[in-house]
Amino acid sequence: MKCLLVDDLDENLLAMSALLRSEDVEVLQARSGAEALEVLLRHDVALAMVDVQMPDMDGFELAELMRGSERTRQVPIIFVTAGARDQHRLFKGYETGAVDFLYKPVDPYILRNKAGVFFQLYRQKQQIAQELHERTETLRLNEMFIAVLGHDLRNPLNSVMTLTTLLERVTEEEAVVQAAQRILGSSRRMQRMIEDMLDLARARLAGGIPLRRESVDLGPLMRRVVQEHQAMYPGRAIVESAVGDLHGDWDPDRVAQIASNLLGNALQHGDSSGDVELSLDGTHDAEVRLVVSNGGRISDDTLAHLFDPFRGGQRQPGRNQGLGLGLYIVHQIVRAHDGEVDVVTGSEGTAFHIRLPRRVVGVIKL
Q: Could you read off the pLDDT of 343-358 as tens digits, one per residue?
A: 988 877 889 999 999 9
Model confidence band, residue 138 (pLDDT cutoffs 50, 70, 90):
confident
- Confidence at 317, pLDDT banded by 50, 70, 90: very low
**pLDDT given for residue 161 in this prediction:** 85
Lowest mean pLDDT among 36-40, 112-116, 159-163, 209-213: 209-213
Residue, of 2 and 230, whose pLDDT is higher: 2
The beta strand positions in 226-339, using DSSP E, are: 238-244, 247-250, 276-282, 287-294
Q: What is the reported pLDDT for 245?
A: 94
Q: How far is the C-alpha of 366 from the C-alpha of 363, rounded, in Å?
A: 10
Q: Say yes or no to pLDDT of 314 above 60.
A: no
Contact present, 150 and 196 (Cβ < 8 Å): no
The candidate with the shortest Cα–Cα distance to 295, out of 272, 328, 315, 264, is 272
Nearest CA to 316 out of 332, 305, 302 is that of 302
Under a CB-based contact definition with an 8 Å cutoff, are residues 114 and 106 in contact? no
Q: pTM, whole model, 2 decimals?
A: 0.53
User: Which CATH number is associated with domain 214-357?
Assistant: 3.30.565.10
Burial of 325 (0-12, 13-18, 19+ CB in 10 A): buried
Q: How confident is the model at residue 212 (pLDDT cuts 50, 70, 90)?
A: confident
Q: Residue 326 — pLDDT band, cuts 50, 70, 90?
A: confident
Who contacts 366 (Cβ-Cβ below 8 Å, separation ≥6)?
203, 207, 208, 209, 332, 335, 336
Q: Which pLDDT does position 299 carry in this prediction?
A: 78
- The whole-angstrom separation of Cα 352 and Cα 343 is 5
| Cis? peptide before 309, omega within 30° of 0 | no
What DSSP state is assigned to residue 19? H
**Higher-confidence position of 271 and 241:** 241
What are the residues whose beta carbons fall under 8 Å from the beta carbon of 189, sequence distance 6 or more? 320, 322
CA distance 311 to 353: 20
Considering only residues 31 and 348, tell me which one the structure prediction assigns the higher pLDDT.
Answer: 31
Tell me which amino acid residue 169 is.
R
Superfamily for 2-106? Response regulator (3.40.50.2300)
The average confidence (pLDDT) of the chain is 83
8-state DSSP, 173: -
Q: What pLDDT is recorded for position 45?
A: 92
**Pairing assessment for the beta strands 214-217 and 276-282 based on DSSP bridges:** unpaired
CA 179 to chain centre: 43
Closest CA to 229 of 219, 237, 221: 237
Q: By C-alpha distance, which of 327, 351, 348, 40 is closest to 199? A: 327
Residue 339 neighbours by CB distance under 10 Å? 22
Q: Please give the C-alpha separations between residue 61 and each of 34, 52, 57, in angstroms, as whole numbers.
A: 10, 9, 6
Asked whether the predicted pLDDT for residue 5 surpasses 90, the reply is yes
Q: How many CA atoms lie within 13 A of 114 on its CB side?
A: 20
* Residues forming a β-bridge with 341: 354
Instruction: Say how far apart CA 67 and CA 93 lie, in whole Å.
Output: 12
Q: Lowest mean pLDDT: which of 83-92, 195-204, 269-278, 289-298? A: 83-92
What's the average model confidence in pLDDT over 135-163?
A: 77
Q: Is the pLDDT of residue 316 over 80?
A: no
Amino acid at residue number 261? N
Task: Look at residue 242 in the predicted model and tell me its pLDDT.
Answer: 94
pLDDT exceeds cutoff 50 at 214? yes
CB atoms within 10 A of CB 258: 27
**pLDDT at res. 35:** 92
215 compared with 360, residue with greater pLDDT: 215
For residue 51, the cross-strand partners are 80
DSSP letter (8 states) at residue 79: E
pLDDT of 229 above 90 = no
Q: Mean per-residue pLDDT for 116-129?
A: 91
The answer on pLDDT for 313 being more than 50 is: no
Q: Between 154 and 165, name the one with better pLDDT.
A: 165
